[in-house]
Structures are given as structure tokens and as C-alpha cells.
Amino acid sequence: MSTAAADLLRTIVGRKVYDLEQPRLAGMPIHPAHKPGYVYQLHRRHKDGYDPRRSGPRSSASGILVMMEHTGTHIDALSHQAADLHLYGGIEVTPQVETPKGFTVHGIETMAPIVTRGVLLDVCALKGKDPLPPHYRITASDLEAAARLTGVTVRPGDALLVRTGYGTVWGDETLYLSAAGVSREGSEWAAEHRVQCAGCDNMTWDETEERDPATGGMLFAHLHLIARSGIPIVENLQLEELSRDRVSEFLFICTPLKLVGATGSPVRPIAIV
Amino acid sequence: MSTAAADLLRTIVGRKVYDLEQPRLAGMPIHPAHKPGYVYQLHRRHKDGYDPRRSGPRSSASGILVMMEHTGTHIDALSHQAADLHLYGGIEVTPQVETPKGFTVHGIETMAPIVTRGVLLDVCALKGKDPLPPHYRITASDLEAAARLTGVTVRPGDALLVRTGYGTVWGDETLYLSAAGVSREGSEWAAEHRVQCAGCDNMTWDETEERDPATGGMLFAHLHLIARSGIPIVENLQLEELSRDRVSEFLFICTPLKLVGATGSPVRPIAIV
Amino acid sequence: MSTAAADLLRTIVGRKVYDLEQPRLAGMPIHPAHKPGYVYQLHRRHKDGYDPRRSGPRSSASGILVMMEHTGTHIDALSHQAADLHLYGGIEVTPQVETPKGFTVHGIETMAPIVTRGVLLDVCALKGKDPLPPHYRITASDLEAAARLTGVTVRPGDALLVRTGYGTVWGDETLYLSAAGVSREGSEWAAEHRVQCAGCDNMTWDETEERDPATGGMLFAHLHLIARSGIPIVENLQLEELSRDRVSEFLFICTPLKLVGATGSPVRPIAIV
Amino acid sequence: MSTAAADLLRTIVGRKVYDLEQPRLAGMPIHPAHKPGYVYQLHRRHKDGYDPRRSGPRSSASGILVMMEHTGTHIDALSHQAADLHLYGGIEVTPQVETPKGFTVHGIETMAPIVTRGVLLDVCALKGKDPLPPHYRITASDLEAAARLTGVTVRPGDALLVRTGYGTVWGDETLYLSAAGVSREGSEWAAEHRVQCAGCDNMTWDETEERDPATGGMLFAHLHLIARSGIPIVENLQLEELSRDRVSEFLFICTPLKLVGATGSPVRPIAIV
């Protein structure tokens, strides 16, 4: 056994693991663009194949899953967004790039597993409002103040997670879709810090009613982080436990499925401290 | 920042990460019980919503995914298998447990993220045949010898990965489905070592033609590991790179999606050294 | 050419054809038991394969449909309902009858095309209320009076269609699901008349809030017509045009798809006069 | 009761009805462009909701259907094919016409129910080969001779059905996909006769290996009948019974589902004599 591996295992195994995924089930909040969104149904049941005389005591059960890739806790591929019909890196959206089976460039299968330092900016803790008011727009100053509050610094390559407190209302679509989100300047702040990915405990990271006065566009971060800066966004995170334990710095691990050509993937990110 | 987190990050960030997932796409090998298995199709394309005068330069694209949960690289939930109509832990398969929406006990959402020591037993390296012959049954002695070959010891709580070499023929369903697998006694050996999970670079872990003479049953490990021992199986792993680099011990991370009630989940396991 | 065929064609071709199907689209009303119900998405578009130099001027487009079989205008197979776990005809619901792939008895593929006399009982016209009040329960007397009103007689083998007037609010799920329906005694009346099938311009034929005092059960007609009398129900009919033209007797044609094992089928019934 | 309706019913009710649909099930032949094509799975079973004390003797079962619209016996909408990126009638394929949710022009919901004279040209009977040789190309002369053989005349507005004999090998995808089909000139003959729709007992009507020397294109009828002549094609018909009974003229009824925006619909056409 290598010394390096031994050292690694000694350091990490047994640490506390935080689960940052919301449960997936029919009835969870779905963005209108991705309705109907999600269904899982069991079709094969244990008794169906149970025939102990012929084939022993074993039986099995299984189901079918239909989902849009932007439902539940998920990460956006860089192909999900374009700026003036160009993907990140100046890739023009041509028929060779965008096909019925998905993207041949920046499909989610091209995204490496994310294993990096994670930072939580708990804006609820900063503001003393949990959750934040509906449609509150988190400013760059909020993000800086939230970082200062816990003495954490956002560095290039980090996974930057922002908490609005709306992870607690996952069972209430109307309320969840009225969540606070990050403002335009907040997203610019994130881009300037050259984070590896950005995540939030709401549906879109962005505050959904803010319109960019310069262009008339909504969902500024989807343009600025994904299409212009190459920074994927993780949506619908569950950040309650991290907040409760006042964890602001951690090992962040997120492994998108290699759904070839897809514009995103469901994920179960974890934080380890 | 806590000293513990700093130590953790210093130890792990920058390490080599091995991606153990096969790519997911229509046409990948599918077990007959789970056909048609997998389809992803892009429906919303960038030009559809592109309207720069009204809403700025941003556009988005997205798709629909239909899949059986036992396709591609995936982990079996404990609800996937039963022994005499009881799930692991003596849970009887009643209508309260097994519902149209999935299982209320041992659904995949109840499985914690796996963060543990991983061990690779490269039976191809041992036998000097890569891949192993079709339908070769890996014995307990093979597993012990493969461990000795690299000086690694399988311990309770480990993720035990076994390599048949069939990960290279992922593009050829017929050949892939004729893979070598672990024999009945090999699976008993794994259970005796009280591993946390077992994984293989074939469709089933089990060698698919072996019949248990005692019961007449096939897929012995599905009965013995999952239903009787509570040890989930990870299938369709990609172990080629680990083998090439002669890595036999590593940090293994696998985060099943919390598909409520489902009998398994697609995963992208990683190995870090 | 046979004289019989010539006679048939002379009689029917050129007649007025009424279309009794509601349009199918995401967002149409869906019964809660069948959510999310329906999605159609185009994935292959004309430009994708257009390559005139190599393969001429032709191109094609196609999509994917995901639906529960009880959405939109549809007919219930006899396997859809059971009475004390027996299908119509005393067929016990055993694992041989009810499988993961559907029913081996009374699957919708066993239902012959329906070509029969149709009768419309327009209860709105009778009551002078269009639509009927929400949750109004149509009585046997209402049905008799509606028949008398237009001088039509319901005979064995007929397709019996009942109009509530809710076909006009197909775009409003909440309102549509509050529709009037046929009461318990109205359904008994239909069964006594030994009709071939029963249809209504609401989600269930039955009035959805009526509870059978004898058993505590809801949806009495689903029990009494389908499971006990072998009379299938057609739901979500569009009867507005027939009503407008005061058509009470017609040729009714309804051709369920042979979805092997399924418990129902989408249909586009027509009335010809 | 109107005299007209009475006359109609007297003429038609009780006539022999031929079912022209192939059974739909997983494993049926699917065109490569529409794989995986079809799955139906039962998820809700009768015992799941059976609770006689609380809610009486009734229980219900239902399933989920995933299908491409060009599987099984189906009719092609005019939006399915384009000539130089124009749909029938000179409609340019713009983003307004072709959307992620389907077509806003020539979607299948715009096709009226088909109630017309049907004619069967049984080329097998003509050639004394049943089925015809694989990939045999049915010529215009064949069609004319087949018509003469039974003394039937093809008229404008007819449903023109052509029999290759491959309807008997629906269970064998490889053989079925090697079927005979109509040649380029045969399709021109059909167009010249200004039929209302064209149908065949193979996957494509067209013979699949014929290349148009003028353009390099395949599937000439898809271009010429659908995109240029506005004549929809019905595929995968079951014509065996009509042939056995030597029926060459009949009432043809085909009612496409109003799947809004879709490029085709599954159908169960019938012939009445």
C-alpha cells in the first residue's frame, strides 16, 4: 500500500459527510420550463418472478424513471446556456454541435468530477432572516459580508454555495419558486472570484424577477457564469445542515452523470468536514 | 477556518481522481430485464428562445431522459432484491413496503453517500488474460490471490471492486453480456469480508450462467450480498485506468441519487489516490 | 365490386363526421391518479438531417411521447377496474393475469373496434344549465327525461353518451375536475340498458364526490359498469358540436389502440350522421 | 330519430369490421430512427388500493406508456416530412412552425378523421408470392395489374392500401425490415391517382434500398406523397385478413389522435364491408 493512499484514507475516512441533495419525487418543485419534470414508477415487483421451486428464494423489483435533466438537485452543463448563440469558449451553436441526441460539445459527460474546496455564504445568518424575504436579491456586498462574518475567503477554484433558506420549503412549489436569489452584481462578484462552480438552495441561483437593464434579459448568472465564464451552477441544494452546524468551509464533491450530450445532470453533492 | 478542514483540503485537493463511470448513451449494453433501458433526447434548442431585442443574448437548451434505474453504471438499492419475499433486515415485502411509486423501506434514497477505502482486485492481471474468458467464474481463491499479488488486504467497510476486463467492450452488447463474473463462492468470500459495497466491470457482478445447485437460483450475489448481507452492488464500472496505473487501494466515493422509492440509482463513482 | 360495399360507401361517404376527442397537450386536465400524465416533445428537426447534395431535398422530424394511458380522451379497458380483486367475468387478479408488462386478460388490445349506434343524452339541454352546476349528480330520471326530450330510446348495444357541458373548460383543470357527473343510480340505469359503452364529457363519467353508502366506495360506475357489467367507459369526450347541432342519434365509431396489456387507450371517437 | 341516421345505422351496424392494426408491444419491429421506440409498464396494481372496509370492493390498475410516434401502426402527419425545408403547401420550416413542443402547422391534430372508400391492391396475390421477395420494388405496372386482377379502380380520395405480405412477420424485426415496398414510380402512380392516404403492410411504404438517381434521396414517397402531394402514409398495417377474404374495396376509417404538434399518431384503422 502506498504511503500517499494511506495518508489520504487516514485523513478522510470517518469524517462527517453532509448530504446536499433534496429528495427526488413526483410533486417536488419544478421550474415551468421543465414541467412535467419527474416521474418514477415501480413496475416489476418481487412476487412477479418469485418461483422458489424452480429458481430459488431470490426475486427482484425495478422501475422506470422519466425526468427532465433540470429537475431536483442538479448541475447545469455548459451547453445548457448560450450567449448570442455561442457556448462557452466561443463555440457556435451549429447543427454539428446541437443535435437531436444532445450536444457534441460541452455535454455534461465532459465535466470532470468536482473535488474541491467548498465555501458556504449563509446570507440568512447575515441578515437574521431565515428564509430571506421572497425575491430578495442578494448583493455583492451581502456576499462579502457573509464571508467576513465567518472569516472565510472565496478563492479561485472553490465551489461557492449561497444559502437563501428556501431549502426548507421543498415541499411547497409556490413558495419555493418565490425564493430569494443572487442579483446581477452578486453573480458578477462570483465570476470575478473565478470559482469552479456556484450553487444555491433555490431553483435558479438567480433571483427570478430581476431583469438586466442593459439587455432586457432574465437569469443573468445563467448568461454570465455559464455561457461567458464557464462556471456551472448547481441548483436546488439542501444547505440546512451545513448552516445549522455553522460550517463555512469544507471539501465539496459533486459527480455529474455522464449522460452523453445532455445539458445537465442530477447530482448528489456532498460536503465533508 | 477550522484546522480540521484545512488539513482535509490540504490532503485531498489536487489528488488524482479516477472516473469509474461508463458513458451513458442509447445503444449501450442493457440487461434484457431492463430493456429498452435508456433514451436521452434534446427538445429545446438555443434558437427556440433566442430573441436578443426583447430578452438579451441568452438562450437555453434542455432535454428529456427516460431510463430504467438499472442501466449504465449504477448501484442497487437493498429493495432491489429479496430472499423469500423479505428484504434485507427481515422486512417482509408487503403492499405497505412495495408500492406503485416505489419502496417505503430500503429505497435508494435511504443509502448514505459512500466515502470509504476502496480496493481493486484485478483478476485479469492475476490470470494474465485481459479480458478474462467469457463466462469465466472468479473463485474465492482468485480473489485472495489477486489481493496477495498487490499486497492489499480487504477489510470490513471497504468498497471491493473486481476487474474482469470487460469494461473495454462497453460498445458491444453481445460481448459485454458474455463477461466473466464472480462465482458463488467468490461472492461468499466478499460477504465474509463484510465489505460496504461490491462492484464489478460487468453487468451483474455475478457470472450470469452459474446456477446455485442448492436452490436452482441464478445471480447468487444478488441474493447473498444484497438481500441477505445488506451489501449493495455497483455494476458496469469502468476500471481500466485504475488497472493501467496499478492502483489497488484508494479513496472510493459513490453518491446514489435520492430517487425516492427507487430500487437503484445511476452513479458516477470516483477513486482518489 | 360487391353490391354490398357499393351500397355501404354510397350511404356513408360524404356524411358529416363529428370529432369527439379533446386536443392532447401538456397542461390539459389530468386526474390526480395519473399525474404527471402527458408530455410530447419534438427532438428530431428538419434541418438535422437536411443534406441536399448527398441525399436530396427530403428531411424529417419526429418526437417522443410519454403518457399515462388514462389521459385525454380515452377508453378504459376491462382490466382497469376490479370488484373484490376480480375482473369482469369472474377473472381473479392473479400474478398470471396482472404482470409488470400489463394484463394477460382484458388488456385493451382485446377490445374490438366499436362501430355501433350512438345516443347523446344532453342533460344540459334538459336542465337549461350549460354547463351543469359543479358536482351535480345526474340521476336516472334526468337520463330518462333527456332521452324523452329528443325522442330517442337507449337500446342494448348502444354507445350511450352523456353531456355535462364541461367539455368547454378543457383548458381549466380546476374547473374541469369539479364537473357534474352521473350518479350511482344513473349508472345503474345505464347498466340496465345494457349499452356497449358509456361516455361522458368529464374526467370520470362518475360524479367524483358521491360515496356509495352501502360500501363506502367512490366512482360507482367504475365498479358497476366496468368490473361488474363489462361496459367500458369513454372519458373526456368533446360533445359540444353534437349538442349545438342537436344530434341525438348517430353512428359511433371508436377504435382503441392495441397497447398489449394496457388498462386503457387514448382514442379519437367519431360520430357520423 | 332522423331518417338519415336510421338509414345509416341500418346500412352499417352489423357489417364485418376488419382490424388493420398490428399489436403494440415491446419487441415489435422499430425503424432505427425511432429506437428505442416503445415501452408500456403497469405500475399501479389492483391490490395497491384495495381496502374493502374503507372504500368498498373496487380497485384499479394503470400504467405508463413511452413511445415515439412513428412506432407500430401509425399515420404520418404532413409535418413529418419536408422538401427543401418546406412542408406541404409551401410552408417554410421556421422556428415559429417547428418548436420544442412540436409543429404549429400540419401537426397531426389538424388531420381530420379519415372516412373514405378503401382499396386493397394485393401484390402478393398478383405475383403468386406471399410474401413478396425481400426488397422487391412494387412498380406502377404491378399496382395497375393488381387493380385489374380484382376489377377495382383507384379513385381520387380513396385510401390506397398495398399488400406486401410482410404483415405476417411482425414478430421478426430483421425480416420485417427487409420487406418489399413501393418503388419510386409506384409512388408517383399513387400520387397521380390523388388518393387521400396511402398505406402498406411494411415499415415505410417505400422500398428502403431504392435511391432516387435524380437527387440521391431515399424514401421517395415520404418526399413525394407527404411533403409534395399532401398525402399521408399509414405504416405497419395488418392486411392479412382482408387478403384472405379477397376484399378489395371497403369503407376505410382511420382516426389519428390529436397529439398537438406531433408528426404522426398511432392508429387502429378499420375496414368495413
CA separation for the pair B6, B11 (Å, rounded): 8
Angle formed at CA D17 by CA D16 and CA D23, multiple of 5 degrees: 145
Contact A60/B81 with Cβ under 8 angstroms?
A: yes
**Can you give the pLDDT at residue A147?**
98
**Residue D177 is placed in which grid cell?**
425490415
B39, three cell numbers: 433514451
At C222 the pLDDT is 98
Rounded (5°) CA angle A168-A171-A175: 75
pLDDT at position D37 is 87
B chain contacts of residue A171, beta-carbon cutoff 8 Å: none
B97 has a chain A CB within 8 A of its CB: no
pLDDT value at position A93?
A: 97
User: Greater confidence, A3 or A67?
Assistant: A67
Does the beta-carbon distance from A44 to C100 stay under 8 Å?
yes
How do residues B85-119 score in pLDDT, each as one tens digit? 999 999 999 999 999 999 999 999 999 999 999 99
Q: Please state the separation of Cα D139 from the chain's center in Å.
A: 20
Determine, for residues A36 and C43 on separate chains, whether the beta-carbon distance falls below 8 Å: no
The pLDDT of residue C2 is above 80: no
Digit-coded pLDDT (tens) for B177-212 = 999 999 999 999 999 999 999 999 999 999 999 999
Q: Provide the pLDDT for residue D14.
A: 86
Phi and psi, residue C11, nearest 5°: -70, -40
In this prediction, residue D172 carries a pLDDT of 96
Per-residue pLDDT of chain D (273 residues; tens, 9 = 90+): 567 788 889 888 889 999 999 999 999 999 988 887 899 999 999 999 899 999 999 999 999 999 999 999 999 999 999 999 999 999 999 999 999 999 999 999 999 999 999 999 999 999 999 999 999 999 999 999 999 999 999 999 999 999 999 999 999 999 999 999 999 999 999 999 999 999 999 999 999 999 999 999 999 999 999 999 999 999 999 999 999 999 999 999 999 999 999 999 999 999 999
At D102, the amino acid letter reads: G
**Least confident among A137-141, A244-248, D26-30, D74-78:** D26-30
- pLDDT for res B203: 98
Q: Are C34 and D62 in contact (CB under 8 A)?
A: yes
- Minimum mean pLDDT range among A86-90, A251-255, B214-218, C185-189: B214-218
Per-residue pLDDT at B36 exceeds 90: no
Give yes or no for a cis peptide into B232 (omega within 30° of 0). no
pLDDT tops 70 at residue B233? yes
Per-residue pLDDT tens for A190-237?
999 999 999 999 999 999 999 999 999 999 999 999 999 999 999 999
What does pLDDT average to over chain C?
96
Q: Which helix (H) or strand (E) holds A49?
A: helix A46-49
Alpha-carbon span D80 to B168, nearest angstrom:
39
* pLDDT value at C254 more than 90: yes
Cell numbers standing for residue B139: 473463485
- In contact, B182 and B221? CB cutoff 8 Å: yes
For the cut 60, the answer to whether the pLDDT of residue B30 exceeds it is yes
- In the sheet that holds B264-266, the strands lie side by side as B17-19, B270-272, B249-254, B114-122, B159-163, B197-200, B233-235, B74-76, B264-266
In chain C, which residues have their Cβ closer than 8 Å to the Cβ of D218? 55-56, 58
Whether omega for the bond prior to residue B36 falls within 30 degrees of 0, making it cis, is yes
Tens digits of residue pLDDT in A38-82: 999 999 999 998 999 999 999 999 999 999 999 999 999 999 999
With beta carbons less than 8 A apart as the criterion, state whether D261 and D107 touch.
yes
* B41 chain-C contacts, CB cut-off 8 A: 41, 43, 64
Contact D147, D166 (CB under 8 A): no
Query: Residue D139's CB: how many other CB atoms inside 10 A?
Result: 16
Q: What is the pLDDT of residue D107?
A: 97
**β-strand pairing of A249-254 with A114-122:** antiparallel
Q: Could you tell me where the DSSP H helices lie in chain C?
A: 3-12, 46-49, 52-55, 123-127, 140-150, 173-176, 184-192, 220-221, 240-244
**C65 reaches B (C-beta below 8 A):** no
8-state DSSP, D224: I
C-alpha cell at D6: 336510421
- Partner C, chain D 149-188, Cβ-Cβ below 8 Å: 151-152
Interface contact A100-C45, CB threshold 8 A: yes
**Dist. CA A190–CA A155, nearest whole Å:** 10
Q: Which three cell numbers stand for residue B137?
A: 467464474
* pLDDT recorded at residue A197: 98
Q: The C-alpha cell of C219 is what? A: 366512482
Whether the CB-CB separation of B36 and D67 falls below 8 Å is answered with no
C95, A48: Cβ pair inside 8 Å? Answer: yes
* Residue C6 pLDDT class (50, 70, 90 cuts): confident
pLDDT per residue over D79-137, tens digit each? 999 999 999 999 999 999 999 999 999 999 999 999 999 999 999 999 999 999 999 99
Digit-coded pLDDT (tens) for C9-23: 988 888 999 999 999
Q: What is the mean pLDDT of chain B?
A: 96
Helices (H), chain D: 3-12, 46-49, 52-55, 123-127, 140-150, 173-176, 184-192, 220-221, 240-244
Q: Helix (H) and strand (E) counts for chain B?
A: 9, 19
- Measured CA to CA, the distance from residue A128 to residue A130 in angstroms comes to 7
The arrangement of strands across the sheet holding A264-266 comes to: A17-19, A270-272, A249-254, A114-122, A159-163, A197-200, A233-235, A74-76, A264-266
3-state percent helix, strand, coil for chain C, nearest multiple of 5: 25, 30, 45
- Among the partner-chain residues B12, B45, B263, the one whose CB lies closest to the CB of A62 is B263
Q: What pLDDT score was predicted for residue B4?
A: 77
CB-closest option in A21, A69, A216 to B62: A69
Radius of gyration of chain A (CA): 20
Distance from the A97 Cα atom to the nearest Cα atom in chain B, whole angstroms:
11
Are D116 and C4 a contacting pair at CB < 8 A? no
Question: What is the DSSP pairing of strand C181-182 with strand C137-138?
Answer: parallel
- ipTM metric: 0.97
Cβ pair C255:D273 closer than 8 A: no
Chains that touch D (3 or more CB pairs under 8 A): A, B, C
